[in-house]
Amino acid sequence: MWLRCTSRRLLTSLRVLKQKRLNASSWSNTVAAVVPEAAGFLGVTDHATLQDFSLTHNDSFWRAMANNRLTWISTFSTVQDCDLRRGKVKWFVGGKLNVSVNCLDRHVLTCPDRVALIWEKDEPGSQVKVTYRELLEMTCRLGNLLRRRGVKKGDCVTIYMPPCPLAVASMLACARIGAAHNVVFAGFSSDALAERIRDANSSTVITVNQGVRGGKMVNLKKTVDAAVDTCPNVRQVFVAMRTETPVAMNSRDVAMEEEMMHEDVICEPAVMDSEDVLFMLYTSGSTGKPKGLVHTQAGYLLYASLTHKYVFDYHDGDVFGCVADIGWITGHSYCVYGPLANGGTTVLFESTPIYPNPGRYWEMVERLQINQFYGAPTAIRLLLKYGDQWVHKYDRSSLKTLGSVGEPINTEAWEWYHKVVGEGRCPIVDTWWQTETGGICIAPRPSDPDAEIVPGMAMRPFFGIQPVLLDNELTSKSASGALCLAQSWPGMARTIHNNHQRFIETYCLPFPGYFFTGDGANRSEEGYYQITGRLDDVINVSGHRIGTAEIEDVVNHCSAVAESAVIGYAHDIKGQGVYAFVVLKKEADITEEELRQQLKDRVSKSIAKYACPDFIQVAPRLPKTRSGKIMRRVLRKVVEKDLNGLGDLSTLDDPSAVQEIIQGHKELC
């Protein structure tokens, strides 16, 4: 379908770039056992030594990595210019490069016919393979189309698409022409999408007519239409055709594939500064609206590429199967940027773990010969319940590494993943990181393929990452506390779009001089880290991060509701579920059933289905302190049925409120 461009034309386009692959003269020829790239760092024989080196010689380490792994148009002058106290983070200052060239062109030069993407479509067996040459062509056509339609360097394009090659090409086309992308998870409602389009100030949106998931069609274009109707700044909506079902096209709509066919397959890459914006990605915080975390070019790409290589022990020719959606950071870093920067073959998974049956993942592993499988504990817990026979049915001998991400993996799920799925021979890498960190920060085997692994522990910090566990007194000796990172690293987010002050307040001020992650952790005597969960009011439902304040905001907008408190509770498949306490207005005339339906509809319309409360407890009032603060700790304990752990209730305004809550909970559950 895509025209082939000749290698001669490509070579010409590459020459224009004046690419310069820098030789790091400091590298010796000795090959270190653990990380071949670290060959120049003398005395490196194990992870701990190299990890120490990466901290004590932070600049040399990252300079060498950046020179070795990235293709620069012109090199950087300063490795880093960071001050965590002030929220100032700059890496590879003055360097010029283009991320799409790093992900595509340089591989097309050496291996044009290598498969870059395997699009695992909803129907098993209907996968589509896209080579590096084809992906470059697609990206260039799209880049030219965006340019011709007025998208400029520095603009922000919102992408609302399921995982598919055109979605990846859209991200890379933005990178090619210097526009930032803002991918919004295609499960978000039109209100949530509109909020993100407006905040990002996008005038261009890219979508598909329909999505296909679990055998069902989802009318994504319809959601975009409803969203864009409330976004006066949107000039144009590019519509790709995922299915044959025609959609009504408005005057602002552009038939994407048709127009792409008229474009050239060469697209001059924009010369980007290391610190220009590559993308923003919205995520939830404990208060207020979702925040658009901003990631920049060189540091993000380097960090995604390095972690992809070493955390998963990825080798040339391997097939990397990350089943995350591209709408989340995991999809950005480990479906797209990390694997493509490494010239890898990466899977885009469109379906669900149980379509058409609970053997889907493992049937796919056999059919696509996947070597590294990377998924979420919530799916593992779900599949475990369906029994081992769905796994045993398929040959999984291609698997080498099994990854876990997004939430803590409980022991039962870990053991099942290890013993049943991995036949006891594949290491489980439980990777801890966040949208903010850009890439994996703590993982069991960030370098040494033979290192010991302890179940359920994220374990070892990645190169250049220095975790500290802090209490309020800023002492770092304790073995449990708030997980902070003591040094900047290239992959970290630079700011919150349009709100640098919020960035500083959220991440830099709680523990001055450190990056505060919002998570708590323990450190064992061996120095291994175990993540204990969020310290704030962010919860994690099926691996999706959501602020309880966001849900409360929607619930409180319901006309019958006076106030509410939303908390997370332990759910055996989703990890956490949503539990809402609701106080009705005195004059409210609504049955509990009507209220439940109304709240469900509102939350799925304003946020997404996964954020809907599983339980809604109507209460006469909420337990509050004398100063009027809702005592969430008490609500959590009631829901956990830990009545002995209610703790100090002396600050309660009226202790009988707690008894009412306990009674109501007993009646509901």
Which residue's Cβ lies closest to ligand WTA? 435
Binding of ligand WTA by 542 (CB under 6 A): no
Binding of ligand WTA by 325 (CB under 6 A): no
Q: Which stretch binds ligand WTA (CB under 6 A): 299-307, 308-316, 512-520, 577-585?
A: 512-520
Binding of ligand WTA by 134 (CB under 6 A): no
* Beta carbons of 162 and 119 less than 8 angstroms apart: no
> At closest approach, how far in Å is the CB of 118 from ligand WTA?
22
Conformational region of residue 597, where left means phi above 0, alpha means psi within -120 to 50, and beta covers everything else: alpha
Q: Which residues pair with 625 in a beta bridge?
A: 652
Binding of ligand WTA by 330 (CB under 6 A): yes
Give the C-alpha separation, 10 to 107, whole Å.
11
Give the C-alpha separation, 82 to 351, whole Å.
41
Give the C-alpha separation, 207 to 182, whole Å.
12
Binding of ligand WTA by 307 (CB under 6 A): no
Pseudo-torsion of CA 436, 439, 445, 448, nearest 10°?
Answer: -130
Task: Indicate the residue among 67 and 540 with the shorter CB distance to ligand WTA.
Answer: 540
Give the C-alpha separation, 443 to 311, whole Å.
7
Conformational region of residue 423, where left means phi above 0, alpha means psi within -120 to 50, and beta covers everything else: left
DSSP letters of 430-449? EEB--GGGSS--EES-SS-T
> At closest approach, how far in Å is the CB of 281 from ligand WTA?
9
DSSP letters of 140-191? HHHHHHHHHTT--TT-EEEEE--SSHHHHHHHHHHHHHT-EEEE--TTS-HH
Task: Indicate the residue among 210 and 330 with the shorter CB distance to ligand WTA.
Answer: 330
Give the C-alpha separation, 512 to 662, whole Å.
40
Intra-chain end-to-end CA distance of the chain, in Å: 56
Beta strands in 29-72 (DSSP E): none
- Here's the x/- map for ligand WTA, 623-652, by CB under 6 A: it reads as ------------------------------
> At closest approach, how far in Å is the CB of 499 from ligand WTA?
17
Q: Which stretch binds ligand WTA (CB under 6 A): 208-216, 234-242, 513-521, 631-639?
A: 513-521
> At closest approach, how far in Å is the CB of 148 from ligand WTA?
35
- Total residues in contact with ligand WTA, by rule CB under 6 A: 22
Whether the ω angle into residue 356 lies within 30 degrees of 0, i.e. cis, is yes
Task: Indicate the residue among 72 and 328 with the shorter CB distance to ligand WTA.
Answer: 328
Of residues 399-458, those binding ligand WTA (CB under 6 A): 405-408, 430-435, 458
Tell me the HSE value of 175 on the side-chain side, using a 13 A CA sphere: 33
> At closest approach, how far in Å is the CB of 486 from ligand WTA?
17
Q: How far is CA 133 from CA 8, 140, 643, in A?
A: 13, 11, 62
Binding of ligand WTA by 519 (CB under 6 A): yes
Q: Which stretch binds ligand WTA (CB under 6 A): 40-48, 490-498, 514-522, 584-592?
A: 514-522
Binding of ligand WTA by 545 (CB under 6 A): yes
Choose, by CB under 6 A, the member of 329, 370, 603, 616 that binds ligand WTA.
329
Task: Indicate the residue among 190 and 283 with the shorter CB distance to ligand WTA.
Answer: 283
Task: Indicate the residue among 127 and 287 with the shorter CB distance to ligand WTA.
Answer: 287
Count other Cβ atoms within 10 Å, centred on residue 625.
Answer: 13
Choose, by CB under 6 A, the member of 47, 196, 295, 534 that binds ligand WTA.
534
Choose, by CB under 6 A, the member of 207, 540, 564, 606 that binds ligand WTA.
540
- Here's the x/- map for ligand WTA, 278-297, by CB under 6 A: it reads as -----x--------------
> At closest approach, how far in Å is the CB of 443 from ligand WTA?
8
Burial of 669 from C-beta contacts in 10 A (0-12 / 13-18 / 19+)? exposed
Task: Indicate the residue among 80 and 283 with the shorter CB distance to ligand WTA.
Answer: 283
List of residues contacting ligand WTA (CB under 6 A): 283, 328-330, 405-408, 430-435, 458, 517-519, 531, 534, 540, 545
